[in-house]
Every structure is written in C-alpha cells, then in structure tokens.
Structure 1
Amino acid sequence: MRISLSERLFRIGNTVFLTGLMIATLYPILYVAFASISEPALMMAHKGILWKPLGFSLETYAAVFSNPMILLGYRNTLTIVIVGVSLNLLLTSFAAYALSRKSLRYRRQIMLFIVFTMFFGGGLIPFYLLVRSLGITDTLWALILPTAVSAFNLIIMRTSFEAVPDALEESAKMDGANDFVILFRIFLPLCKPVLAVVALYYGVSHWNSWFNAMIFIQDRSLYPLQLILREILIIGDANSMAEGASQDEIVILGETLKYATIMVATIPILLVYPFLQKYFVKGALIGAIKG
C-alpha cells in the first residue's frame, strides 16, 4: 500500500512532535534522578543541563532516611492512603450501586446535586468550620473523611455498574441474593478494571495531598510526607536533614538533599502504576462509554 506524501509528512511531524513532548516530560524526572545520586560538591558547582550523574554518591539518601520526620511522614502517608482508599472504594461503590439502579426514586435529581458539587463549592472557610465542628481537626481523619467520595470517581463507577446486564441482577435475586451480595459478588468482580482505575485516582490524590494537612494538622508528628517535602523545598528546611553536619556540609548537601527527598516521595507511587496500568485504559473506557 503506497503512502501519499501528505501522510508521510504527517507521520514524520507527528513523530517529531511526540518525541519532543516525551523528552520535555521525561527530562525533569531524569534531572532530579541524576542530581539525587550525584556528588554534592560537583552538583553544587554545576550549571545548566544535566545529562548524566556527576559522579556517584548515596550520601544524600542516607541523610534523608536518617531524618526521623521522613520515616514519620511515610508512616502517616501510608496510613492515609491505605485507610483512605479502602473507605473511598467502599463508600463510592455503595453510592454508585444505588444510583445505578433504575428502581431508585429521584436518582436523576440526586445525580444533579452530586454533579453540582463538581462546579460549585462552599469555599475554604465553610469547609474548615465543618471539619472543626466534626471534632477531627489535628487528626488523620481530617485528611480522610472530607474526601471520602469524589463526584468524578462516583460517576465513573456508576456508569460501569449501569453497563452490567440487568439479567445478572434478576437471576441473583431469584436465588435469594440481597443487594450486598449482588454488589460484592457480581458487580465488583465484573468491574475490576474500573475499581483499579478509581483506586489509582484516589491513591494518587491521597499521596500528593498536602493542602488539607497544612490547614488541619498542627501536630508535627501527624504530618504526611508531602507536607514535610513542602517544608524542605519551599521553606528550605534542610538543616534537619543533615543532623550532625557542619554548616558548610549542609550548604553543599542542600541541593542534592532536595532532589533525593523528591525521589523518595515519588518512587513509591511510580512503582504502583505498572501493576495497575493494564487495567487503566480498559477501566477508563468502561466508565466513560455511557453518559
């Protein structure tokens, strides 16, 4: 099959554009990775583009993991992610199943109210007053309960539930199954790709969240990892990362410490994605085919 000149030019242009986009997206990650394992003194003196590590040193990673706040932040963040995602999936599944049932009265009106929250919010002050009235400020629950259900993820899951044939539900009810049995033994197993996608969305959201923690958490022992990372990057709190080091050593380690901390906070969520990637496209499509 002959390819016309216009098609050939389009393919070449498309390849060049996508290659440039890939480099622009990938290079910042590679820069941080190379800088985090470079010799601190060489990295401090380096200017411009970094194509490879400048020497090799894990001194900054040792300094990062020697800081008790990093390990504490990991513990808090993992607690938030595990408990939060479990609660997210449970509540979102319940709501999606109920709203996908045609027998539910006023389900369209309820969905309108839910969609309304995607475009309009009460603002930060009412949000803070609500969390404070619940008595969960300065606890990890303040980072879990207010974001227990995402309207966007609820719509994705509800749409996937609506695609399940009604005959399966009817046959299950004839065998005496109630709604809980139908949900957990029929709908959720059939919608595993969507569950994986929604779990990934919720997990990344919890892992990257720092704003709510900055507002609601005063006790430093409850700081999540991203809030600790923010202090290091924005406030420049590198002294605590190199305890026992001289001021000159702290200055030299300062930049590479920041890069190493970024990698420590980013690698875990990057390692999770390949295990869910096979479900990602399929789950996103299943949840978006029907309106």
Structure 2
Amino acid sequence: MRIRRTQGEIWFDRCNVAVLSLACLLMIIPLLNVLASSLSSTDAMIHAEVRLWPVDMNFDNYRTVLGNAKFWHAFGISLFIVTVGTFINLAMTVLTAYPLSKSYLRGRKVVLIGVLFTMIFQPPMIPTYLVVKQFGLINSVWAMIIPLALSAFNLLIGITFFRSLPEPLFEAARVDGVGEFTILFRIVIPLSMPIMVTLLLFYAVGNWNNYYTALLYINNAALHPLQLYLYYVIAQFNMNEAMSKVIETTMDVSPQGLQMATIIVATVPILIVYPFLQKHFIRGAMIGSIKE
C-alpha cells in the first residue's frame, strides 16, 4: 500500500536532498583538488593551473612517496597501533560496558558518574603527560595506545546496546550453570556484532588519525606514526627530512605534489575499509542510540 504524501513533506524532502547534495559537493571539491594536484606536473603546480582535474598527468609524486622507506616505516607503526590498539579498545569497552549495563551491579551509578565526569571535564595536558612519564611510556609505541585504551563515549554506546539484550536469555543460561564469562563470549558478543563493528570502526579510525599523543609523547623520529609523519611533511614543510630517498633528476616532482600524494596514500586505507563496514556501522549506531 502506497502512502500519500503531502506537498509539505515532498518539498521538505527535496530541500533536504538539495542541502545534503550541496554539503557533499563542498566536501568532495577539496578532495578532488588534492587528488588532481598529486597527479599534476610541477609546472602546472607552479603556475596554479590545477583545479579539479590533473594537468599534464604525472605519477612521479606517487613513485617517490611509495619508494620512501620512512613513509613505509611510519605506515607500519600506524598499522601496529590500529591493530593492537583497536583490539585493546574493544576488549576494555566490552569488559567494562557489559557489567555496567546490569542495573543490579553495586556501585554502578558511581562508576557511571565518573565516566560522565571524564566526558565533561577533560584531563589537563601537563598532568596527563606527567602520568604517562611516570609509567615510563615516553618514547614508546604504547604511549599512543594505553592512554586511549577506553573511550567514555564508546563505553556509553556499548552500555546502551547491552541493556537492549533480553535478560531472560542470560537468566536461563545461569540456571543451566553457565558462568558470566561464558555468557559474555558465547551469547553476548555474537548477539552484539552490529555494535562491535561500529565500535571497531570508531576506534580504528581514531587510532589511524591520531597524531596528538604521538606529538606529545614521542621524540624519537623512528617511532613516528603515519599521521605525525604527514604532519611534519605538511605543517612544517620539511621535505628534506621527510623524504629519505634521493629523487632522480628525471622525475617531475614538487614539494606540493609530494604533500598531496602523501595525503592521498594515507587516506586510501580508510576509504577502502569503510564501504565493507558501512552497513554494520549504521545499524549498530542506530541500535545503540535508540535502545534503552
């Protein structure tokens, strides 16, 4: 049965489509300019001829970036942080959110108030740095993982989702003699795959894009993740330090082109992974936001 829509609803939808299309266009234009700049010749970049389409197609910038040992070392550091850090994030979130979702847990309200407090009042930078230094994590890859092991926002999403799971199912399992850890790993987690994928995506993207903790705690250039490497390439314009490979005289490369190519290469992994997780991401975010 087709529901008839009023003229107001039709025009409202049309306005939404127009506004959202304009917003998407405004976000895509800078990305197209970066991509076009990375594929354009040095002469076109110097004369500011590049807009949304490459001028004098040139792949030397990508050959130089992909042949740079420092780039791949930083990429490996970021990959380690995303893999290990996301696993720790998920483990901490699930092991904390599941018990806090139970209304009968003693001291639950006190812990939740503490979680909300950390969301409202962020810890100052200097005390946080001193704590990390006290634990001996300065100039360690773990300084980019341990301080970010648990997100209060993601924890609340997990708690909200776990509340929506049917409690009689867990009670029946307990009657059969099943322990809490078995319930968690055999029942709760399999039923929670949408929210698990959502949290995985949140944490993985956050770990991949994070450079602030590395900027604070890492002084050794050998431990710089990809985003901090990218920061030095772009913000400080230090191409001599960033590019360890000697560029051949026959290559048509420019500092701006190398910057743009590095940005594209650093962005591609997230763009490749996201479409495969989008369905679970939307479903998990919706369930975690509306269930009580």
Shorter-chain TM-score range: over 0.9
SS at match of 1:235: coil
Q: State the alpha-carbon separation in 2 of the partners of residues 157 and 269 from structure 1.
A: 23
Deviation at 1:8, TM superposition (A): 5.5
CA contact 2:64–2:247 (8 Å) conserved in 1: no
SS at match of 1:288: helix
SS at match of 2:162: helix
Residues 106 and 32 (structure 1 numbering): CA distance in 2 closer, same or farther, change over 3 Å?
same
Q: State the alpha-carbon separation in 2 of the partners of residues 242 and 54 from structure 1.
A: 27
Deviation at 1:7, TM superposition (A): 5.3
CA contact 1:217–1:223 (8 Å) conserved in 2: yes
Alignment of 1:216-227 (within 5 A): 216-227=217-228
Q: State the alpha-carbon separation in 2 of the partners of residues 227 and 196 from structure 1.
A: 27
Structure 1 residue ranges, 4+ long, deviating more than 3 angstroms after superposition: 1-15, 245-250
Residues 140 and 253 (structure 1 numbering): CA distance in 2 closer, same or farther, change over 3 Å?
same
Q: State the alpha-carbon separation in 2 of the partners of residues 100 and 2 from structure 1.
A: 42
Structure 2 gap segments, 5+ residues each:
none
State whether structure 2 residue 36 is matched by structure 1 residue 24: no
Deviation at 1:273, TM superposition (A): 0.6
Q: For residue 137 of structure 2, what is the aligned residue in structure 1?
A: 136
Q: For residue 287 of structure 2, what is the aligned residue in structure 1?
A: 286
Q: For residue 33 of structure 1, what is the aligned residue in structure 2?
A: 35
More off after superposition, 210-219 vs 235-244: 235-244
Q: For residue 229 of structure 2, what is the aligned residue in structure 1?
A: 228
Q: For residue 48 of structure 2, what is the aligned residue in structure 1?
A: 46
Deviation at 1:117, TM superposition (A): 0.4
Q: For residue 266 of structure 1, what is the aligned residue in structure 2?
A: 267
Deviation at 1:270, TM superposition (A): 1.2
Deviation at 1:55, TM superposition (A): 2.4
Q: For residue 188 of structure 1, what is the aligned residue in structure 2?
A: 189
Deviation at 1:258, TM superposition (A): 0.5
Letter in 1 for 2:118: T
Q: For residue 277 of structure 1, what is the aligned residue in structure 2?
A: 278
CA contact 1:35–1:256 (8 Å) conserved in 2: yes
Q: State the alpha-carbon separation in 1 of the partners of residues 52 and 219 from structure 2.
A: 41
Deviation at 1:139, TM superposition (A): 0.5
Q: State the alpha-carbon separation in 2 of the partners of residues 110 and 12 from structure 1.
A: 46
Superimposed CA distance per residue, residues 38-85 of structure 1 (whole angstroms, 9 cap, x where no aligned partner): 2232233224x6121112221001111222111011110000000000
Q: For residue 127 of structure 2, what is the aligned residue in structure 1?
A: 126
Superimposed CA distance per residue, residues 222-242 of structure 1 (whole angstroms, 9 cap, x where no aligned partner): 100000000000110122427
Q: State the alpha-carbon separation in 2 of the partners of residues 162 and 2 from structure 1.
A: 37
Deviation at 1:36, TM superposition (A): 1.2
CA contact 1:208–1:226 (8 Å) conserved in 2: yes
CA contact 1:37–1:60 (8 Å) conserved in 2: yes
Deviation at 1:110, TM superposition (A): 1.1
Q: State the alpha-carbon separation in 1 of the partners of residues 82 and 170 from structure 2.
A: 32
More off after superposition, 17-26 vs 234-243: 234-243
Structure 1 gap segments, 5+ residues each:
none
CA contact 1:66–1:241 (8 Å) conserved in 2: no
**Percent identity (aligned):** 37
Q: For residue 201 of structure 2, what is the aligned residue in structure 1?
A: 200
CA contact 1:44–1:255 (8 Å) conserved in 2: no
Q: State the alpha-carbon separation in 2 of the partners of residues 162 and 75 from structure 1.
A: 38
Letter in 1 for 2:213: N
Alignment of 1:31-180 (within 5 A): 31-47=33-49, 50-180=51-181
Residues 35 and 242 (structure 1 numbering): CA distance in 2 closer, same or farther, change over 3 Å?
farther
Tell me the TM-score normalised to structure 2 length: 0.92
Q: CA RMSD in A?
A: 2.1
More off after superposition, 61-70 vs 190-199: 61-70
SS at match of 1:105: coil
Deviation at 1:154, TM superposition (A): 0.4
CA contact 2:41–2:57 (8 Å) conserved in 1: yes
